[in-house]
Structure 1
Amino acid sequence: MTHVINKQIERTGMTQQSLADIGLTTKSNVSMMVKGDRNISSDTYRAFATNSNDGVFITDTLNEFSDGFSIPAHNDEVYYDHPGLIKNQLIKEMKEAIYALENCSFLKRPEYMSREEKEEIIRTMTECEDVLFQGQLFLNMTCKHIKKNQRDLAKAHEQKLKMERRI
């Protein structure tokens, strides 16, 4: 966990005291964790994962807590209970999809494509599906957190489209 804490301090400029506040521990305890003199408790792991709004830190903490054997999964409540993490994951997936789309050639008819070209198109389609999944997850969780009904958002969007069509 030492490298996760150090990475967080370097990346965001957080102080040991602010990390201690998130981890529901003391600055002295965080200092000892940074030096490697103290092991982190499961309660502190849990507090870091649930009290932080930084998706990168949450993911790193959860990965560290699982001892590197697992990464946050789609059904992991802690992982998906943070809109900031969902947003960051959506942005990551969008960048991967854009990269895949930019590097994929759709110029040939399917019957003239090689096996590798078809596989590249399938990989691109998979990246786009990841964006759709993360986008829907973002909508679901954000509506839940702001206590907004998705149907109301959909109705408002439909009304906006009708108005644009009239113009």
Structure 2
Amino acid sequence: MKETINANIGSLAFTLDRDAYEELKAYFADIRRRLPEGDTETLDDIERRMAEIFREKVNTPMRVVTLDIVQAAIAQMGAPDDFGAPRSGGEEAECEEQPREMLRRQLRRSRKDRSIAGICGGIAEFFDTDPTPIRLATLLLILFGGLSLWVYILLWIVIPNAPETDN
């Protein structure tokens, strides 16, 4: 048995094998690296064409798009090299950017934006917002009884510090 994933490709819903999904995802990512910054229209056109190819090869909605179908569609569409050279900062920059994005989305106490313990700064980084309104809301909640000072201290203990390389 193989795990399947439901994916929306070119505004059409498909069910793909896990390995077919990973192959297609890597193909689109490689093409995205080669297109000019902000050129979403070309990538949308490529996705729509890929969806048309899948619809031709998968006759019924109950059939799953397999790795063989994805590879045949990629061969029909062309290699990512056909779309040009990668933009500057190619693969290395993307590989470094992805773990940083994953770390940013974890709730951690901020090391660079802290007033007391870095809790409000960490929450602001998690939600990608300014920490000042969060600090004001926390202060008002503590002063007017909505949030206990003990809860803040507990968060200070429970939420881990951000890594030092995050500076």
Smaller-chain TM-score range?
under 0.3
> TM-score w.r.t. structure 1 length?
0.25
> TM-score w.r.t. structure 2 length?
0.25
- Greater per-residue strand proportion: 2
Instruction: Point out the structure with max Rg over C-alpha.
Output: 2
- Greater per-residue helix proportion: 1
